[in-house]
Amino acid sequence: MPRLQSFASLLRPLAAPRAVASRPYLRFSTASIWQAEQPPPSANPVAQPSLPPNASSRHPSSPQEAQRAADLAAAESLTEADSAQPPERKPALPSKHPRADNKPARPSKTDHVAPTSASAPANVANTTSALKQKSSKKPKTPQAPKISLPPPKYYVSRSSNKNLPIYTDYKRGGNLHLTTVRKITGDLSALRDELRVFLNKKNEDVTINSLTRHVIVKGHHTGEIADFLKARGF
């Protein structure tokens, strides 16, 4: 018996410590602090958010893995949102151009119908009457003006080609036109006065060249003087 007590004294340090002896040391242990900070269990447990099907339930061990997991979750949520919701239709804006259904109807081919046979004879009659009127109108020959004057006191002879000796002259660089009557015999002043009255000219506009015996009229009056001389019988 004394031998067993000696062995018990040797094995006593290997036994578990008593709670009374170890209580002062457990007062400041981390286990007691963790148990104190842990909130009491609530009656309605909060439902944890569901993870995507491809995501793993283990927590990331590094910040890079956490960022990668967040990016994958955001990409999967975007793809699910795009596939679930149809694309929104754009609102139709009012257009200034008319739509195809609002365009005015084009005239059909039946609108452009040839004139009926009843109107055709009337058109033919109108054309024939117009042609007859044109054929009846003959071109009028210019007649010489009739002048009630006494017999002329002068004589104007024609050229070898049977043309009246009436010519046109230009002076002052072409700005002054002169009409000259040549081959005159007899009283030149009588022809000058008659031309001045016939053409309604001033005294200084109708002159006589005493050296050449020509009557000079200021302006271009070749045709009018020719008609006058023809009316006088030359």
In a domain, 215, yes or no: yes
The predicted pLDDT at position 71 comes to 83
Q: What is the CATH number of the domain that holds 181?
A: 3.30.780.10
On whether the pTM is more than 0.85, the answer is no
Helix (H/G/I), strand (E/B), else coil: 142: coil
The predicted pLDDT at position 144 comes to 47
In a domain, 93, yes or no: no
In a domain, 194, yes or no: yes
Q: Which domain holds residue 194?
A: 154-231
Cα–Cα distance list, 54 to 34, 84, 178, 220 (Å): 33, 18, 116, 113
Q: Where are the beta strands (DSSP E) in the chain?
A: 154-156, 166-171, 176-181, 184-186, 206-209, 214-218
Return mean pLDDT, the chain: 71
**Percentage with pLDDT > 70 across the chain:** 44
Query: How many separate domains does the chain show?
Result: 1
Candidates 206, 226, 232, 228; CA nearest to 159 is 226
| φ and ψ of 135, to 5 deg | -70, -30
Sequence letter at residue 111? D
Q: Is the pLDDT confidence value at 143 over 80?
A: no
In a domain, 147, yes or no: no
In a domain, 163, yes or no: yes
Q: What is the pLDDT of residues 40-83, one digit of tens each?
A: 555 555 555 555 555 455 555 677 777 888 888 887 777 765 55
| Token pair 């054309």 in the structure block, residue | 127
Q: What is the pLDDT of residues 174-199, one digit of tens each?
A: 888 999 999 999 999 999 999 999 99
